[in-house]
A and B are shown apart, each in its own frame.
Chain A
């Protein structure tokens, strides 16, 4: 099977640095699943949160430059791993359905956008194009004995009219994929609660409070690790876990995986392709125990 790439791939800026493990594991897993991605040539920053707090036309223009490049390269679907990029790209497409708004955006661009491009998360593509059943059949190393807190973050599925994927209050795509890998998924009531987003630098107190709540809840539901799909969530929970512990006088020590890393582990992909060594809270202990003990729920 050697299909031409179907998806234009938008990696996003954090994939080049703080979430490099998300980037490499996404590519490795997509390759293993037969999902061909073609990186958008010379893509630029989507503007992230800062742009939409300045102006909606500016924000849409920064996103749209990438949609134009994808279209010119012959693609009608753009996929991205990062929910923040996803939200910007999707909101731009959504707002540009209004011709007046599209005109304003095009005034800022060298080459105008004329529609005809849709945007999806890599998660959506893995969930819909491959699906839990096919994934399950490909598992080489079941994640048995691993109990996870599935954390989607606030904007992967909200608002529903724009994001158009999974449930805005109780999303289940990651749950289903993890169960297919043989992991046990804890009921996690804060699946879509905000982690403190990009306030880490300017208002660390906000992040330690909100991420602290998430870590506390993960321990309450007896999860051994988080599984997430968002670079900002991952950073707040993992890199800043020590700050949370300091602020709240707690002793959390929970690894925070990207869902792609865990798919990669279960598919038996090479460790170097999954960036597991980049996680700040070491996942070694937990990974070593995988398969040694059957999970409480799904014995197989």
Chain B
């Protein structure tokens, strides 16, 4: 078991920032463990979600932002739905990803690259173009597409479009991303 010396690494600015960005009161968590009990992803998490809540209460920025769990959370809303103290735990997990991104910390690179390529596709075409997303994902990760056998199945069924569907307002969508970058440096 990993033991953390709380007094050495308590970061109160970080705690305040998580509370501000998520709109949640961290001290409401009384560690009942309900969120972890219902989380379908605990089996791949390095830190269970209730323990992330505890680490947040003690301001453990490094431990939280560098963990794998925040990249593997599917926002399934089980924790948020079941928290007896009405804490929006899934929103906190989202906010932790936002912070980890801003700090350039990524424990699950393939997950991040997939999401980034999805958004690049939306920025370019106005809508998500699935084949293009997978192609650039493979390009960026250098990972041979582990789903290769699915390609022919989906193609045979006419389920994968070969060409992106560019919308008329794609410039408007691109501008949303541009303005976001200007405002927040994203």
Asked if residues B81 and A159 are in contact (CB atoms below 8 Å), the reply is yes
B139 to chain A minimum Cβ distance, whole angstroms, is 13
| B114 partner residues in chain A, CB cutoff 8 A | 50, 198, 201-202
Residue in contact with B168 in the complex, picked from A18, A42, A278, CB distance below 8 Å: A42
Known contacts A57-B184, A201-B147, A203-B111; A158/B72 CB under 8 A? no
Q: Does chain B have a CB within 8 A of A16?
A: yes
| B169 partner residues in chain A, CB cutoff 8 A | 42, 44, 65
Nearest residue in A to B90 (C-beta to C-beta)? A159
Interface size class of B (residues with CB under 8 A): 35 or more
| B157 partner residues in chain A, CB cutoff 8 A | 277-278, 280
Asked if residues A53 and B122 are in contact (CB atoms below 8 Å), the reply is no
Asked if residues A202 and B108 are in contact (CB atoms below 8 Å), the reply is yes
A176 to chain B minimum Cβ distance, whole angstroms, is 21
Best-surrounded residue of B43, B116, B157, B158 (most CB of chain A within 10 A)? B157
| A49 partner residues in chain B, CB cutoff 8 A | 74-75, 115
B77-91 contact mask (Cβ, 8 Å, vs A): 1 or 0: 110110000001010
Q: Does chain A have a CB within 8 A of B6?
A: no
Within 8 A of B (CB), among A94-115: 104, 107-110
Known contacts A18-B159, A51-B119; A43/B167 CB under 8 A? yes
Q: Does chain B have a CB within 8 A of A1?
A: no
Best-surrounded residue of A14, A17, A19, A52 (most CB of chain B within 10 A)? A17
Within 8 A of B (CB), among A1-29: 13-14, 16-20
Asked if residues B126 and A61 are in contact (CB atoms below 8 Å), the reply is no
| B179 partner residues in chain A, CB cutoff 8 A | 107-108
Asked if residues B180 and A55 are in contact (CB atoms below 8 Å), the reply is yes
Q: Does chain A have a CB within 8 A of B130?
A: yes
B90-130 contact mask (Cβ, 8 Å, vs A): 1 or 0: 10001001100100000010110111101100100011101
Within 8 A of B (CB), among A130-146: none
Asked if residues A56 and B110 are in contact (CB atoms below 8 Å), the reply is no
Asked if residues B176 and A20 are in contact (CB atoms below 8 Å), the reply is no
A65 to B128 alpha-carbon distance, docked (Å) = 15
Asked if residues B167 and A155 are in contact (CB atoms below 8 Å), the reply is no
Asked if residues B172 and A65 are in contact (CB atoms below 8 Å), the reply is yes
A240-263 contact mask (Cβ, 8 Å, vs B): 1 or 0: 101100000000000000000000
A202 to B78 alpha-carbon distance, docked (Å) = 22
Nearest residue in A to B109 (C-beta to C-beta)? A202
A199 to chain B minimum Cβ distance, whole angstroms, is 7
Asked if residues B173 and A52 are in contact (CB atoms below 8 Å), the reply is no
B114-154 contact mask (Cβ, 8 Å, vs A): 1 or 0: 11101100100011101000100100000000110110011
A49 to B110 alpha-carbon distance, docked (Å) = 15
Asked if residues A54 and B115 are in contact (CB atoms below 8 Å), the reply is yes
Known contacts A62-B122, A206-B72; A159/B88 CB under 8 A? yes
- Of A121-129, A189-197, A266-274, A287-295, the one with at least 4 CB within 8 A of chain B: A189-197
Asked if residues A194 and B40 are in contact (CB atoms below 8 Å), the reply is yes
Q: Does chain A have a CB within 8 A of B165?
A: yes
Q: Does chain B have a CB within 8 A of A204?
A: yes
A49-76 contact mask (Cβ, 8 Å, vs B): 1 or 0: 1111111111001100100000000000
Q: Does chain B have a CB within 8 A of A221?
A: no
Asked if residues A206 and B173 are in contact (CB atoms below 8 Å), the reply is no
A43 to B168 alpha-carbon distance, docked (Å) = 9
Asked if residues A44 and B173 are in contact (CB atoms below 8 Å), the reply is yes
A231 to B37 alpha-carbon distance, docked (Å) = 27
Nearest residue in A to B118 (C-beta to C-beta)? A50
Q: Does chain B have a CB within 8 A of A45?
A: yes
Q: Does chain A have a CB within 8 A of B63?
A: no
Q: Does chain B have a CB within 8 A of A33?
A: no
B37-81 contact mask (Cβ, 8 Å, vs A): 1 or 0: 000110110000000000000000000000000001011111011
| A17 partner residues in chain B, CB cutoff 8 A | 130, 159-161
Asked if residues A154 and B126 are in contact (CB atoms below 8 Å), the reply is no
Asked if residues A194 and B78 are in contact (CB atoms below 8 Å), the reply is yes
| B78 partner residues in chain A, CB cutoff 8 A | 154, 158, 192, 194
| A58 partner residues in chain B, CB cutoff 8 A | 176-177, 180, 184, 186
Asked if residues B76 and A154 are in contact (CB atoms below 8 Å), the reply is yes
What are 10 A-B contacts with C-beta separation under 8 Å?
A13-B130, A43-B167, A50-B119, A58-B180, A158-B78, A194-B76, A198-B74, A203-B72, A206-B72, A239-B150
Q: Return the 8 tightest CB-CB contacts between A and B, nearest first.
A: A50-B115, A154-B76, A158-B77, A197-B74, A194-B76, A202-B110, A13-B128, A50-B118
